[in-house]
Amino acid sequence: KAGVKLDFEQPQTQPQPLPQIQPQSQAPGKAAIKVRVSLDPALAGKLSGEDTVFVFAKALNGPPMPLAASRHKVKELPLEVILDDSMAMTPQSKLSSADRVTISAKISASGTASPQGSDYVSETATVSSDSKDEVTLVISQSR
């Protein structure tokens, strides 16, 4: 009876470790903006630690949808976040796709990103998407 001989012997080589892959946000030349967010002390007693904090980067001249967003809680303030392409809302709209962006932060008692009358907001900072400078935002005013 003719048949196929199968060889199940394993090769005698040692397994090679997989190469380390750098996260996309760490790759050189990619947009990454360091943002420090704090709360005006005058607002401290008016908010719940469970209220939601959003940090956004939007194209200076583009659609209103954020290019990058990060979500936190008031109890985490002050906080530092790095906005980068990994935080894009869609694959086509990344931080690195815009030359200049606006950076802002807001507190939402409802937990939604949509603007509400009860939101507290920061001033807006405008920077280049590849800025190496840290952006400092203070949430200090009601919408």
Strand partners, 58: 102
Q: Domains in the chain and their CATH numbers?
A: 30-142 (2.60.40.1120)
Residue 12, pLDDT above cutoff 60: no
Residue 18, pLDDT above cutoff 70: no
Structure tokens at 33: 């903006």
CA dist., res. 121 & res. 77, Å (int): 14
Structure tokens at 76: 């985490």
Q: What is the pLDDT of residues 68-127, one digit of tens each?
A: 999 999 999 999 999 999 999 888 899 999 999 999 999 999 999 998 999 999 999 999
Asked if 86 and 67 count as a contact pair (C-beta separation under 8 A), the reply is no
Strand partners, 101: 59, 127
The pLDDT of 39-43, averaged and rounded, is: 96
The pTM for the full model equals: 0.77
